[in-house]
Structure 1
């Protein structure tokens, strides 16, 4: 894909973007000339490292915005701050809801706190950012919402009740938003689209506890732990790299993607084809 600055003049907000998939997506946006709004809960050195990566990738401007997505007021503050940063233009042109948390726990052991935290961060947080961003995107005639769901938004696995519920809900919510904003803008302006990307096993910190758990049962062998984890679900037997999700996200922001909306695109090595 030719990424030559087709996002010049656009602002991309990526939640949870100082590491992993979020950082890879932010980097991809920077390569196309987008102004990048990073977000997360991170130490100063991690923030500075992420900012430098954006500069090296070509972002004309980059800023970090903190905010706990469990806090409705913090989300409002985040969206207002991004809008002010863009000169009061109404917030980001591109919103990527990537921030997420996961906890592996059996159904009988799910507490109210675990349920509330996972639903709030993985689903309600995305709803709140979308609610504020989409009307402004429609007013401008261009907007892209990309929600990083999961293969677990399409199928279920044991011991992941709240996570699966949140990700299924995120895909459903995205379809509704896609329909409601389908006629905003034109082909020339780019339109407003809402899509989900559904990664399978991807090499990030989020799955590290599951890798270590498998490795522990196999004498501490991490490579064997990864192989065991993938053998259950992912036919290719390969982990995805975060950059793969980044490049698909970038393509969805292109004017060429104006008629791709309401989708849930898996990057799962054949997991959901079974």
Structure 2
């Protein structure tokens, strides 16, 4: 059987990089899609050092034409896309009434429209190939709310709803569409948020039963399950990976 091909957005750093490394270690060929080409190339280098195969592509998920070009380049190289991981995301923590409309737009464009764009381009390829698994990265903020993240939470809530709907629509083609909702994770983005919200890390660690933030590897492990054959009968589900911060 030919190796599966995974297209991962925001794979240049943080959680996306760990997902790329994890899926490469599971014998997949990985497309590292990111708006930061230098970071994407670094991820490819790390994967290749482990003896696995990867390719970087420039991809601005907020721009449908950019997504189309990235998908075309990827298919031109690997001939197919079997797995899509919608990981690219961005956040800014601040009270809603102090936030600016330009911030709202960026939050929605990256966190919600970005996932809609990639699904629009890649799902038809999966239908044609009679195989496909999609994992959308949302947030536990979407499930319980989060002070200072009103629009971010709304966008990620949209991701969860979008996941459920396309899971229903794609079920006739036997495509698996699932969602992961991470809790607070120790990533470059979170460190940036913490730099202007003093005390947030300590407060969160105290609130998490496991007494630590998620590591990118924790999220990558959940993605690896959803794209595995063992999850072949799982679709339309949202899995929280949060150390027990919230419990369904």
Return the alpha-carbon distance in structure 2 between the equivalents of residues 169 and 142 of structure 1. 25
- Cα distance change, pair 13–43 in 1 and its aligned pair in 2 (3 A): closer
Q: Cα distance, 1:207 vs. partner?
A: 1.0
Instruction: List structure 1 runs of 4+ shifted beyond 6 angstroms.
Output: none
Aligned runs of 1:1-274 on 2, under 5 Å?
8-42=2-36, 44=38, 46-59=39-52, 61-87=53-79, 89=80, 92-184=81-173, 191-213=174-196, 215=198, 226-231=201-206, 233-273=207-247
5+ unaligned residues in a row in structure 2: which ranges?
A: none
Q: Cα distance, 1:146 vs. partner?
A: 0.4
Return the alpha-carbon distance in structure 2 between the equivalents of residues 268 and 65 of structure 1. 30
Contact 1:106/1:159 (8 A) holds in 2: yes
SS at match of 2:106: helix
Contact 2:61/2:118 (8 A) holds in 1: no
Residues 49-78 of structure 1 deviation map (CA, whole Å, 9 limit, x = unaligned): 21121113342x311111222222111111
Q: Cα distance, 1:227 vs. partner?
A: 2.4
- Cα distance change, pair 157–128 in 1 and its aligned pair in 2 (3 A): same
5+ unaligned residues in a row in structure 1: which ranges?
A: 1-6, 185-190, 218-224
Residue number in structure 2 paired with 1:188:
none
Return the alpha-carbon distance in structure 2 between the equivalents of residues 178 and 197 of structure 1. 14
Return the alpha-carbon distance in structure 1 between the equivalents of residues 201 and 148 of structure 2. 18
Task: Give the TM-score normalised by the residue count of structure 2.
Answer: 0.93
Q: Cα distance, 1:164 vs. partner?
A: 0.3
Task: Give the TM-score normalised by the residue count of structure 1.
Answer: 0.85
Return the alpha-carbon distance in structure 2 between the equivalents of residues 161 and 138 of structure 1. 35
SS at match of 1:237: coil
Return the alpha-carbon distance in structure 2 between the equivalents of residues 170 and 141 of structure 1. 24
- Cα distance change, pair 41–132 in 1 and its aligned pair in 2 (3 A): closer
SS at match of 1:85: helix
Contact 1:96/1:145 (8 A) holds in 2: yes
Tell which structure's C-alpha radius of gyration is larger: 1
RMSD of the TM alignment (CA)? 1.8
